[in-house]
Amino acid sequence: MSIDPVASTAPPGRSRTRVMVVDDSVVIRGLIARWLTEAGQFDVVTTAANGRIAVDALDRFKPDIVLLDLEMPEMDGVAALPLLLKRQPGIKVIVISTLTQRNAEISLKCLSLGAVDYLAKPESNRQASTSEDFRCDLVEKLKAHAGSRARSADAVSAPAATYLRPAAKPAHSRPQYLLIGASTGGPRAIEEVLTSLGPVAQRVPILIVQHMPAMFTAVFADHLRALLGMRVCEPRDGEGVLPGNIFVAPGGRHMGISSGPAHPVIRLDDRPPVNFCRPAVDVLFRDAATVLGPAALAVVLTGMGSDGTQGARALVATGAMVLAQDEATSTVWGMPGGVAKAGLAHDILPLEAIGPAVKGYITGSTL
């Protein structure tokens, strides 16, 4: 067994996020360790060449976050994940894989098993070492999860925050369209919301923007289709937005809505990223404000960044209703927190309450 020890860089009296890097490539382990050390708020406490070594090292090094490669000899990431979570409950595991359909499927499976996030890495070590996007994505994801961990610890003794809300819930008929925006932690959250709707999900078109690479969104749509027994797809440009359909924005393209002769239609485009994202929640929400107005019901779920806040502002101005996931149940309270702190959420709800609330609005039982 070989463990790569890494000296602690934490100054006395200052707590940093402890990270374990698990990858069979010594080049990748070294790159990630260097990048995180240079970022200034992480201690890479150890690295390991496979899942077995990582599991055996967990008690000794007690990391807060584990970066776990999927493809490794002896014990791969899928086999190691449940063992890591069992041995250290509450640890945050981020799975890393090259961008293939098989790895996208495995990554989504890992999210269902308890991983908090995933990261696509370049196919070769050389590409990884020169990819500024990979480096930035890695560091930003870890910063978001580290911040979430710190806030969770602070929240144990702190009273719940109170945020401004729009003056009143809109007094209008039942919403005719459901819009959902999410990022980090979103796949599991979206799954819970949609399954709790039951047959009510058939009554309205559902449009989802989940920040994911292209191959991942297609696999995610397939997963939801099998789970829900409904038509779930990455839509075609110009496709009608009709009840009984769940549209997942394709990775790498913005999904919006345009007016059509009989009903709204999907608009796909390749314009530059918005909030560093493509697809972006703000693009969908802003289009919905123009085309759907108060007929829309928007839900902002867990995710890093602030995507969705400006679009939520546009929706609220039309009389549409916006719901946000609360901090306690969010993997990262960036996106829903931005909406809540801007005073744009009519309700700030725990994840388990969002589906029932949406169901009530669609059926009219809570209007």
CATH code, domain with 247: 3.40.50.180
H helix or E strand, kind and range, residue 286: helix 281-291
Residue 299 lies in a domain: yes
Residues 40 and 91 placed together within one structural domain of the fold: yes
Residues 219 and 74 placed together within one structural domain of the fold: no
**Secondary structure class of 100 (helix, strand, coil):** coil
Does position 13 have pLDDT exceeding 50, yes or no?
A: no
Residue 172 lies in a domain: no
Catalytic residue among 23, 307, 326, 346: 307
Residues 40 and 99 placed together within one structural domain of the fold: yes
Share of the chain above pLDDT 90, in %: 78
Residues 322 and 204 placed together within one structural domain of the fold: yes
- Among this protein's residues, is 43 annotated catalytic? no
Catalytic residue among 97, 107, 148, 183: 183
Residues 146 and 238 placed together within one structural domain of the fold: no
Residue 160 lies in a domain: no
Residue 268 lies in a domain: yes
Residues 216 and 342 placed together within one structural domain of the fold: yes
Pick 200 or 11 by higher pLDDT: 200
Residue 167 lies in a domain: no
The tokens for 70 are 């999927």
Does position 314 have pLDDT exceeding 70, yes or no?
A: yes
**Quick check: 231 and 244 in contact, CB under 8 A?**
yes
CB atoms within 10 A of CB 110: 23
Residues 276 and 216 placed together within one structural domain of the fold: yes
What is the value of pTM for the model shown? 0.89
The pLDDT, as a whole number, for residue 365 is: 84
Does position 156 have pLDDT exceeding 50, yes or no?
A: no
How far out from the chain centre does Cα 63 lie? 22
Q: Which domain holds residue 57?
A: 3-155
Residue 162 lies in a domain: no
Q: What is the DSSP letter of 141?
A: H
Domain termination residue (choose one: 125, 155, 185): 155
Domain termination residue (choose one: 95, 123, 155): 155
If you average pLDDT over residues 53-63, what whole number do you get?
Answer: 96
Residues 239 and 345 placed together within one structural domain of the fold: yes
Residues 191 and 147 placed together within one structural domain of the fold: no
The tokens for 48 are 């390991």
Residues 255 and 356 placed together within one structural domain of the fold: yes
The pLDDT, as a whole number, for residue 254 is: 98
Q: 76: domain CATH number?
A: 3.40.50.2300
Residue 164 lies in a domain: no
* Separation of alpha carbons 249 and 45, rounded Å: 38
Instruction: Please report where in the chains the tokens 């191959």 appear, as a residue.
Output: 215
Residues 185 and 321 placed together within one structural domain of the fold: yes
Share of the chain above pLDDT 70, in %: 91
Catalytic residue among 43, 76, 196, 211: 211
231-288 pLDDT, tens digit per residue, is 999 999 999 999 999 999 999 999 999 999 999 999 999 999 999 999 999 999 999 9
- Among this protein's residues, is 107 annotated catalytic? no
* Separation of alpha carbons 277 and 111, rounded Å: 21
What is the domain count for the chain? 2
- Among this protein's residues, is 307 annotated catalytic? yes
Residue 166 lies in a domain: no
Residues 140 and 216 placed together within one structural domain of the fold: no
Q: What is the DSSP letter of 295?
A: G
